């Protein structure tokens, strides 16, 4: 059985309100690499017949917003969906709390990193808690009997191929195929016919002593005007630069 | 003790190790600590690690497999209790962090640790008394020192490390249509420009350049992997990088060493503008076709 973890993270396109003590998003979305992890799990299900659970992690504000991602996961082929409310805490505390419910899986997939992570990596910490192998930056998985054959992206286009035994935690960076498109009608169907089970883990809170800051103002020279004027100015700059 | 993990790939110590050594040396000289570099691998050339006070070398053919380094490092941390462990924020480095307190994506540290998160949109200052810092590539100038340093050798078997992952092979990228790392002009396509890749191709042609892309575009299969700019793709050093609809996450920016960057993005807070000389806050789908028209005439 495969367990996939999907986290609600700030939607960066919608912007953030940054104060010294907190970062407040206007909207949440599913962490993109976690969505790739879902797709990879479904690919493995199709290829080898695994059963797949998705486990959504969201704070109070994102607790209902995560439902969309979980129903989408079911529409993509996941068998069951669960969700867990996460208090203000660290990846260390989350990994510890999750370890009990994750130990039944042969394979645990999640994104290598969540866009709002800065203190510890949940993917790696789960493996540490469960005392099982971890490989991150994964772009492909095959099964050979009891073994996993994992493709790990290195640098400069190099790919490492690793063989290891199940169980393991894999941090996915991208899936073998892009996540499949789910039409809205199909999503609505799933929402009517499936439910998301809630799990209460009473995760311990922990606040870190950190200060958040807006990035420094860029030194860039902005070109302004109508689209036509901008195109004209850009063309002039480009011509000068390339000659 | 300040411990530096030497990243070794195919028997060669990566640049990031020497970059980290620069900062490790600076801090250690100030705090009067020892800089100890940990090397795992086989037949590794230790010649330029002279900025370290001491080297711990676990030499074993099985350690060509970087996936085992996670276990070895854990044992070494237990054995030596270093105050700070510095590791590159790379594919291999990220896999090493286990249960230790760890701050990822750091770009500087002195009394406090400075890191970047939220896709480059938030800067974070934190305190870390003991633990791991994952250091972004390009944060410090490399420090290669050719000097004899005391080497302490450890055996993999004596460390009692389980060997449960096998490195089957390292696949090299296929022969490429275009080598973006050598191009003088690169037109970068990001998620915001994925609908106008053909226009970007035209633009690149007229500028005598090539098209590169950020990770999301490659992941969707819209352009081949050989065109990926960034940490896991290629590092480009063109005269001009025209970034279209690219937000500029760390993973991308690490691969851009361009003389001039011009960025067009609808988000005025996009991190790409921090490395740009000229910027346009606007819609690439509207501006780029107009720009192409102007350049044609």
Contacts of B164 in chain A (CB under 8 A): 133, 164-165
Helix (H) or strand (E) holding A105: none
Q: What is the predicted pLDDT for the residue at A14?
A: 86
CA triplet B235, B236, B238: central angle to 5 degrees?
165
B11 touches chain A (CB under 8 A): no
Strand B12-13 relative to strand A221-222, pairing: unpaired
Q: What is the predicted pLDDT for the residue at B175?
A: 67
Q: How many domains does the structure of chain A reveal?
A: 1
pLDDT tens profile B16-59 = 999 999 999 999 999 999 999 999 999 999 999 999 999 999 99
Average pLDDT over residues B180-188: 94
B119 in helix, strand or coil? helix
pLDDT tens profile B211-233 = 999 999 998 889 988 899 998 88
In chain B, which residue's Cα lies nearest the Cα of A228? Answer: B290
Q: Which superfamily, per CATH, for B2-159?
A: HUPs (3.40.50.620)
Q: What is the dihedral of CA B192, B195, B198, B202, to 10 degrees?
A: -40
For residue A232, is it within any domain? no
CA distances from A95 to A120, A123, A128, B209 (A): 10, 8, 9, 47
Distance CA B268, CA B241 (A): 18
In sequence order, which ranges of chain B are alpha helices (DSSP H)?
15-31, 69-80, 91-94, 156-159, 197-206, 215-219, 250-253, 284-296
Strands (E), A76-225: 80-85, 107-111, 134-144, 147-153, 159-165, 168-172, 196-199, 210-213, 221-222
Q: What is the predicted pLDDT for the residue at A241?
A: 87
Torsion sign over Cα B240, B245, B250, B255: negative
For residue A242, is it within any domain? no
Equal fold, B2-159 vs B180-296: yes
pLDDT tens profile B102-122 = 999 999 999 899 999 999 999
Q: Give residue A174's domain range.
A: 2-215
Mutate to test the interface with B, among A132, A238, A240 (most CBs of B within 10 A): A238
Domain ranges within chain B, ordered by starting residue: 2-159, 180-296
CATH of the domain at A20: 3.40.50.620
Domain topology for B180-296: Rossmann fold (3.40.50)
B194 in helix, strand or coil? helix
Contacts of A227 in chain B (CB under 8 A): 282-283, 286-287, 290
Q: Mean pLDDT for each consecutive 10-residue tract of chain A (243 residues)?
A: 98 91 95 97 97 98 96 98 96 96 97 96 97 97 96 90 97 94 95 97 92 91 95 94 82
Mutate to test the interface with B, among A10, A35, A155 (most CBs of B within 10 A): A155
Q: What is the predicted pLDDT for the residue at A196?
A: 98
Highest mean pLDDT among A70-79, B129-138, B244-253: A70-79
Closest partner CB to B280 (pick from A137, A223, A242): A223
Q: What is the predicted pLDDT for the residue at B46?
A: 96
For residue A239, is it within any domain? no
Mutate to test the interface with A, among B122, B264, B289 (most CBs of A within 10 A): B122
């Amino acid at each position: 059985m495969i367990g996939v973890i999907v986290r609600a993270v700030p939607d960066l396109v919608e912007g953030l309100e940054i104060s010294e003590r907190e970062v407040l998003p206007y909207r949440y979305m599913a962490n993109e690499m976690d969505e790739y992890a879902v797709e990879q799990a479904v690919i493995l299900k199709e290829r080898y017949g695994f059963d797949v659970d998705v486990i959504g992690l969201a704070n109070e504000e994102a607790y209902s917003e995560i439902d969309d991602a979980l129903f989408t996961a079911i529409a993509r082929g996941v068998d069951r969906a669960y969700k867990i409310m996460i208090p203000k805490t660290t990846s260390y505390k989350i990994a510890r709390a999750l370890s009990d419910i994750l130990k039944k899986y042969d394979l645990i997939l999640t994104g290598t990193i969540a866009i709002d992570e800065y203190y510890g990596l949940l993917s790696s910490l789960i493996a540490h808690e469960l005392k099982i192998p971890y490989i991150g930056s994964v772009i492909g998985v095959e099964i050979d009997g009891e073994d996993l054959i994992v493709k790990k992206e290195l640098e400069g286009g190099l790919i490492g191929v690793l063989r290891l035994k199940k169980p393991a935690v894999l941090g996915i960076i991208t899936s073998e195929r892009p996540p499949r498109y789910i039409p809205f009608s199909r999503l609505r169907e799933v929402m009517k016919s499936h439910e998301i089970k809630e799990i209460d883990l009473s995760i311990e809170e922990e606040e870190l002593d950190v200060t958040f800051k807006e990035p420094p103002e860029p030194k860039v020279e902005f070109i302004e005007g109508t689209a036509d004027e901008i195109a004209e100015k850009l063309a002039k700059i480009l011509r000068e630069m390339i000659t | 003790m300040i411990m530096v993990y030497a990243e070794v790939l195919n028997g060669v110590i990566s640049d990031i190790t020497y970059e980290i050594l620069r900062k490790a040396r600076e801090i250690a000289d100030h705090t009067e600590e020892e800089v100890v570099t940990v090397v795992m691998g086989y037949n590794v050339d230790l010649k330029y690690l002279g900025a370290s006070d001491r080297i711990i070398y676990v030499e074993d053919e099985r350690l060509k497999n970087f996936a085992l380094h996670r276990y070895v490092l854990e044992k070494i941390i237990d054995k030596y209790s270093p105050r700070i462990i510095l590791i590159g924020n790379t594919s291999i480095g990220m896999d090493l962090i286990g249960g230790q307190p760890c701050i990822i994506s750091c770009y500087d540290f002195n009394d406090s640790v400075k890191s970047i998160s939220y896709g480059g949109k938030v800067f974070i200052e934190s305190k870390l008394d003991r633990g791991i810092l994952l250091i972004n590539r390009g944060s410090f100038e490399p420090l290669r020192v050719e000097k004899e340093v005391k080497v302490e050798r450890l055996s993999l078997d004596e460390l009692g490390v389980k060997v449960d992952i096998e490195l089957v092979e390292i696949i090299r990228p296929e022969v490429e249509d275009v080598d973006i790392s050598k191009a003088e002009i690169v037109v970068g396509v990001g998620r915001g420009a994925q609908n106008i890749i053909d226009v970007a191709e035209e633009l690149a042609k007229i500028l005598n350049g090539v098209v590169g892309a950020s990770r999301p575009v490659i992941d969707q299969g819209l352009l081949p992997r050989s065109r990926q700019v960034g940490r896991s793709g290629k590092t480009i050093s063109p005269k001009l990088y025209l970034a279209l609809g690219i937000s500029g996450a760390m993973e991308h920016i690490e691969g851009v060493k361009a003389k001039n960057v011009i960025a067009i993005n609808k988000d005025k807070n996009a991190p790409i503008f921090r490395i740009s000389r000229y910027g346009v806050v606007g819609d690439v789908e509207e501006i780029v076709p107009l720009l192409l028209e102007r350049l044609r005439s």
